[in-house]
Amino acid sequence: MSEDVTVTLNDSAVAALLNSPDGPIGIDLLKRGIRVETDVKRRLKQTGKGRVYEKYKPRRTHRASAPGDAPATDLGHLGASYGRALGHDGRGLFVQVGTGLKVGLFLEIGTRTIDPRPALRPALAKAAD
């Protein structure tokens, strides 16, 4: 005995599922973004293992990060600048995590003369594992 089963997708419901920021996919993406952001901030709060600097305004001693480690927090500006946002483009919903501070990019990937101090990529990799 056999029976034919016809499945009809509700196109508008599927579109809402895939594209609505308030739907389960949007909420899940946002949760993942928060997880990555939190992990980045945790990495930035770790004490550095690199060189020690005497700094001013305010006067303080700062131990920088060692090459390869996440940047060590000084006044906390970089950590505070990290955020996440849910967005939508031609491919659908996405979540982005990052900082608007240029120094964050150049610490993350290094420069010709400065070794990288990644914080975002390890957090992304950990979230994906």
Partner 1 sequence: MGDLAVFVDQVTLLRDWLRGLDIAGLVGVHVWAGGLPTTPTDPATPAITVRRIPGGYIDGPLELVDLQFDVWATTIPVAARVAGALTTQLVTCGRVALGSIDGCDVAFIGVDELTLASGHVPDLSDPNYQRYLVTGRGVFAAKPTP
Binding site for partner 1 (CB under 8 A): 68-70, 102, 105-106, 109-116, 118, 121-122, 125-126, 128-129
Backbone angles phi, psi at 117, to 5 degrees: -130, 75
Min. distance of Cβ 126 from partner 1 in angstroms? 7
Cβ-count burial 45-81 (b if 16+ within 10 Å, e if not): eeebebeeeeeeeeeeeeebbeeebbbbbbeeebbee
DSSP-assigned beta bridge partners for residue 92: 89
**Closest CB to partner 1 among 1 and 128?**
128
- Residue 43 or 84 with smaller CB distance to partner 1: 43
Minimum Å gap between C-beta 113 and partner 1 is 5
Considering beta carbons, is residue 68 or 83 the nearer one to partner 1?
Answer: 68
52 DSSP assignment:
E
